[in-house]
Amino acid sequence: MSPSAELRRVSKSYGETKALDDVTLKFSRGEIFTLLGPNGSGKSTLLKILACIEKPDSGMMFINGEKITSVNRDRARLTTTLVFQRTTLFSTSVYKNIAYGLKLRGLPQKQVRRSAEKALAKVKLEGYEDRPAKNLSGGEQQRVSLARALALQTPILLLDEPTANLDPKSASIIEEVIRQANRQRDTIVIIATHNVFQADRTSGKAAFLANGKIIAVGTIDEILGRKPEIRAKFSRLENLFSGISEILEEGTSKITIDDEIAIECASRQTGRITVFIRPEDIILSKESFKSSARNVFKGKIVEISDQGSLVKLKVDAGKQFTAQITKRSFSELGMKVGSQIYLTFKASSVQVA
């Protein structure tokens, strides 16, 4: 199958920082392709170049076999849509946010309304048309951003960390919508993420980037199997635990980790499994509180890391957990290294690797 998008020896620098270094990649029609790598590896820059938002310093880009130049860049931009990690919505209704891009393309009012309603249905936000977009939850806002992109029906859909910091329900909906868009419209979907589990669930092919360079290309299994240093990196993922799972009467599963702690999971499985809990899915509190969450652990803070607007805390609760909270929440908790704290997270937040 001939490539629908291609980068040939593309490089891009910002000052003295080389964001991309001699990158060559091909993306085929109907393909879900994942760009894996740590923060700062060049994933977002690569997406911006594919979206014709940024120009490469050197190298070439082709869409449907046509070389992208200053002459045809604006036209090429209409073939791609980029959904950013940080949701940017207008201070107006959900409908007007989605309709804006469609109206710019000169579509008639009836078609705009029909396309917007279909897109909202895909992200399970039917009936949200008249709600103020800025009043929605973070997960709902990200789903509106995705609906806005889907309504445009571009042949290439670019997603930058589409489920980062989202609740499990919104993350699950977005992943299903991505697969659906790919199946129904043969859309090229290119996802930038550092979540290897999400990549394994959604894509057939991936590239691993580090320091702006392509380190490996292939399926997730091929990349992790071929490159020991990449496998070692992912083995150090935060909140990754292996244990023996048994199904409980309630319909959930209990995973016993090294006879030290037991984690309850919504998935029904038996035998040895590996599970993962996102740091942002863990709630921290000074006292234990009543909640429907099935997992509550008491622990001691052993490390605090300032991440800008966020704070990461490592907590020893029989096993070491990493939690991520806003700086404001951290200040309100008044915690320090050595403080006792409670960790709470839902069974549905426990992902099976």
Backbone torsion region of residue 37, taken as left when φ is above 0, otherwise alpha when ψ lies between -120 and 50, otherwise beta: left
Tokens (6 digits) for 345? 């997270």
**β-strand partners of 273:** 243
Instruction: Quote the tokens at residue 68.
Output: 């992208």
Which pLDDT does position 231 carry in this prediction? Answer: 63
Q: What sections of 125-243 are H helices per DSSP? A: 138-152, 168-185, 196-202, 220-226, 228-235
Mean pLDDT of 162-189: 84
What is the CATH code of the structural domain delimited by 240-352? 2.40.50.100
Three-state SS for 156? strand
The helix or strand, by DSSP H or E, that contains position 61, with its residue range, turns out to be strand 58-63
Q: What is the pLDDT of residue 232?
A: 61
Half-sphere exposure of residue 169: CA atoms within 13 angstroms, side-chain side: 8
What's the CATH code, domain 3-235?
3.40.50.300
pLDDT tens digits, 39-78? 788 999 999 999 999 999 999 999 999 999 999 999 999 9
Pairing of strands 32-36, 188-193: parallel
Average pLDDT, the chain: 89
Question: What is the DSSP secondary structure assignment for residue 244, as one 8-state letter?
Answer: E
Q: What is the dihedral of CA 177, 179, 184, 187, to 10 degrees?
A: 100
Residue range(s) in the chain whose domain bears CATH number 3.40.50.300: 3-235
pLDDT of residue 165: 65
Q: Looking at the DSSP assignment, which residues form a beta bridge with residue 66?
A: 63
pTM over 0.75: no
- pLDDT interval class at 2 (50, 70, 90): very low
Q: Which residue has the tokens 């014709």?
A: 52
Mean pLDDT, residues 174-189: 88
Give residue-wise pLDDT tens across range 299-320.
Answer: 999 999 887 778 999 999 999 9
pLDDT tens digits for range 98-135: 999 999 999 999 999 999 999 999 999 999 999 999 99
Q: What is the DSSP letter of 281?
A: G
Look up residue 312 and give its amino acid.
K
